[in-house]
């Protein structure tokens, strides 16, 4: 049994470590987008007829969400998430493990609610809210193409949710990132739960 727990911990920690290390560099992409936003506004003041980029603010928001949500599991793994440390910091390793063992279920519940909302929002952004549910999104596109040609398929694809801004990007990529990040947080939280079980047993991780 302990071997199964240790195998899951190793696999999950390695996965979220790699994703977290890559997600760290999204901060540089965010800085780049914001710098370009500033430069384009400066250019619009100095060059007649030049219009500032209208995609920068929303792109910065999307990058920030990806940075935060994909780095979350790595943060949990490192124990750098925010805690109420009034008493916890002075406890022994086993006492901390017992407390985490019981309180982790609140985190599971919270992440489960977030995941349900993320999947529902992703489904909405992919156009499922207008479908009958028998074919799925890809099946409806194929059926639309077979019955109405490119325009029939285009009618289905056109149901993809877009932002209300002037740039109007499709929203499913960032909503997919949210759902993926929350899923990774759930499996990392399960890894931390298994670590607590091993600590309570007095074993080294």
Phi-psi map region of 61: left, alpha, beta (phi>0 left; psi -120 to 50 alpha): alpha
For 36, other C-beta atoms within 10 Å of its C-beta total: 16
Whole-angstrom distance, CA of residue 180 vs CA of residue 132: 25
pLDDT in tens, 19-34: 999 999 999 999 999 9
- The stretch 31-53 carries a mean pLDDT of 82
Entry pTM: 0.81
- Give the single-character DSSP code of 130: G
pLDDT band for position 131 (cuts 50, 70, 90): very low
pLDDT band for position 118 (cuts 50, 70, 90): very high
Q: What is the DSSP string of 35-102?
A: HHHHHHHHHHHHSTT----SSHHHHHHHHHHHHHHHHHHHHHHHT-S----TTGGGS-HHHHHHHHHH
Whole-angstrom distance, CA of residue 63 vs CA of residue 26: 7
Q: What percentage of the chain has pLDDT greater than the value 90?
A: 45
Identify which has the larger pLDDT, 72 or 163.
72
Identify which has the larger pLDDT, 96 or 149.
96
Cβ atoms of residues 151 and 36 within 8 Å: no
Tokens for 3? Answer: 């071997």
Cβ atoms of residues 181 and 69 within 8 Å: yes
pLDDT in tens, 132-188: 555 566 677 777 778 877 777 766 666 678 888 878 888 889 999 999 999 999 999
Identify which has the larger pLDDT, 52 or 8.
8
Cα angle at 98 between 97 and 104, to 5 degrees? 80
Whole-angstrom distance, CA of residue 41 vs CA of residue 198: 56
Among 1, 184, 78, 197, which residue's Cα sits nearest to residue 205? 197
Average pLDDT, the chain: 85
State residue 150's pLDDT score: 75
Provide the residue ranges of all domains of the chain, joining segments of one domain with +. 2-81+91-126+161-200
């Amino acid at each position: 049994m302990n071997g199964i727990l240790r195998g899951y911990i190793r696999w999950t920690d390695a996965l979220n470590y790699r994703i977290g290390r890559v997600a760290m560099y999204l901060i540089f992409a965010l800085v780049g987008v914001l710098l370009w936003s500033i430069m384009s506004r400066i250019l619009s003041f100095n060059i007649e007829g030049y219009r500032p980029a209208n995609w920068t603010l929303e792109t910065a928001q999307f990058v920030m969400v990806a940075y935060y949500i994909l780095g979350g599991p790595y943060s949990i793994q490192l124990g750098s998430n925010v805690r109420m440390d009034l008493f916890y910091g002075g406890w022994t390793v086993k006492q901390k493990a017992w407390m985490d063992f019981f309180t982790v279920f609140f985190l599971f519940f919270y992440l489960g609610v977030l995941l349900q909302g993320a999947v529902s929002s992703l489904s909405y952004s992919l156009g499922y809210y207008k479908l009958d549910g028998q074919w799925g999104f890809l099946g409806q596109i194929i059926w639309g193409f077979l019955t109405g040609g490119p325009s029939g398929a285009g009618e289905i694809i056109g149901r993809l949710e877009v932002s209300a801004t002037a740039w109007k990007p499709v929203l499913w990529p960032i909503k997919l990132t949210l759902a993926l990040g929350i899923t990774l947080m759930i499996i990392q939280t399960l890894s931390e739960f298994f670590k607590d079980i091993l600590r309570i047993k007095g074993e080294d991780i």
